[in-house]
Structure 1
Amino acid sequence: MGYINPLLKLPAGKALQALPAADRQRIEAVMRDLRNQANEEADKAWARRKGPMAAYWRAVATYARHVAHVLSCGTKGAV
């Protein structure tokens, strides 16, 4: 990623990184699916002119991406 992930600064973000690799991989896969699905929902909401719901789903997608990235880094990316 081209920025500093804000979750890396939180104790919960560090706890995610401390999980066993197999657990991190499973949760990361779910977070990436969540991101994709939330982006699809955002696109649908935008097409229906439901701006607040589109913004909500974009935020869900962003947080899912942040979590997935924290998990993909493991302990090597800890701040």
Structure 2
Amino acid sequence: MNPLLALPAGRALQALPKEDRERIEAVMRQLRDQANKEAEKAWAKRKGPMAAYWRAVATYARHIAHALSRQAPDTTTGDHP
């Protein structure tokens, strides 16, 4: 399970209108790709702490993008997408 979905803010992201979720998701996927590239550069320079930082950024961006790709379940009916 995506740990961000356990947070109220994570569920609020899922509740955004579809168009907003799609735009933010696209930016998060770009951020993930860019952060992964920065991590590789930092690792090549033997900058372990910066590589770890950029990997964490990439991981959070991926989790956010994934959360945005799914609409929040309707808690009033118990329906899930």
Q: Normalized against structure 2, the TM-score is what?
A: 0.89
In structure 2, C-alpha distance between the alignment counterparts of 1:75 and 1:7, rounded to whole Å: 12
Structure 1: gaps (5+ residues): none
**TM-score, normalisation: structure 1:** 0.91
Partners in 2 of 1:50 and 1:74 — Cα distance? Answer: 38
The structure in which a higher percent of residues are helix is 1
Which runs of no fewer than 5 residues in structure 2 stay unpaired? none
RCO comparison, higher one (Cα < 8 Å, 6+): 1
1:12 partner amino acid: A
- Per-residue deviation at 1:36? 0.2
Matched residue SS, 1:19: coil
Which 4+ runs in 1 deviate beyond 6 A? none
The 1-side partners of 2:52 and 2:31 are apart by 15
Determine which structure has more spread, i.e. the larger CA radius of gyration: 2
Overall identity of the aligned pairs, in %: 75
CA RMSD for the aligned pairs? Answer: 1.8
After TM superposition, list the pairs within 5 Å mapping 1:1-79 onto structure 2.
4-76=1-73
